[in-house]
Amino acid sequence: MKEIKISIIGFGSIGKGLVREIIEKRDFLLRKGYDLKVVAIADKNSSEIDINGLDLANVLKKEEYSYNKTALDIIYEVKQDIMVECTPSNIIDGNPGLSHILAALNSRINVVTSNKGPFVVAYDKIIESADKNNVSIGYEATVGGAIPIINLIKSNIRADKILSIKGILNGTCNYILTRMQKEMLDYEEALFEAKELGIAETDESYDVKGIDTASKLVILANSLMKMNVKYTDVKVEGITRITREALELAEEIDCTIKLIGEVNKEERLLRVAPRLVPFNHPLSVGGTLNVIMLNTDIAGEITITGRGAGPKETSSAILSDIINIADERL
């Protein structure tokens, strides 16, 4: 039985969603040989700590936590095997997530994260720090939610060279465009519906302007294709100018419109833009689904589809990374 002590830094929807899945999967994980103990959680400037493992059901009920320890205090002072970083993404300077990740790695603590921001601004620095300190960094949850795209390539098609990646990487945009197509809603109507259902954030700009998709492209290009690119290298256009009339015209030629992110290493192309997609094409998926198409030199085209967002889906990727690190390091 492997005892795995983790901290969770950032206790919003993703952090709490992860705790719910740990509770739900506890017996299953124990049967597989993994005794997963959350020894600390941190939310802004308050925290809950128990080196023997927190009572997670009780933690979820609390509105206030017992300690005023900060995230960095927990990283430096609490004995742990893996730090899970779930704070909101910031693609300007990557913080506070970047500071948390580097502090953990430099303290020789393995890291799993759902936070895109640090990898958009400092991918090389993070990987170098992990290598230097002989610890692991898992970031499957930064791209595609439950879609295991990073682990698929690093574990299952390691002999292949990735020539290009193309896909739908944002569930909010895909939902809005799907509703506009199927129900002939205006953009504002579909956006309002997405907000009412909790699919879109109160400030939807990060999604609908293509920023989220472009951030994920940068991570894929750097981690899987070794392109050494920045966010500013991506040409970005969102969906805010897509009209019901445009979708009607697309339908006349048996097409829909999707927000597509694509990267091509040979052409040095990184682009996010609404594109015409035939209804019978693999990229023509509806609702909040994401889809990623890889073009490789040996296997050829590989397409993988799944739920791309949400606490439950993100938890799937985080737990997978935790188990992988436990197998490799603990």
What's at 175, amino acid-wise? Answer: Y
Does 308 count as an annotated binding residue? Answer: no
Facing residues of 113 across strands?
Answer: 85
Cβ-in-10-Å burial (0-12, 13-18, 19+) of 161 comes to exposed
From the candidates 216, 235, 258, 265, give the one annotated as an active-site residue.
216
Facing residues of 84 across strands?
Answer: 8, 112
* H helix or E strand, kind and range, residue 166: strand 162-168
Does 12 count as an annotated binding residue? Answer: yes
The encoded tokens of residue 64 equal 């206030």
CA dist., res. 239 & res. 273, Å (int): 8
Does 13 count as an annotated binding residue? Answer: yes
Does 116 count as an annotated binding residue? Answer: yes
Catalytic residue flag (residue 235): no
Tally the residues of the chain. 330
Q: Does residue 281 come out as left (phi exceeding 0), alpha (psi in the -120 to 50 range) or beta?
A: beta
Does 69 count as an annotated binding residue? Answer: no
Does 192 count as an annotated binding residue? Answer: no
Does 316 count as an annotated binding residue? Answer: no
Does 171 count as an annotated binding residue? Answer: no
What's at 43, amino acid-wise? Answer: D
CA dist., res. 283 & res. 106, Å (int): 41
For 206, how many CA atoms within 13 A lie in the half-sphere containing its CB?
16
The catalytic residue positions are 216
Binding-site annotation, residues for NADP(+): 10-15
**Residues in binding site for NADPH:** 116
* Bind-site residues for L-homoserine: 201
Q: Residues annotated as binding site?
A: 10-15, 116, 201
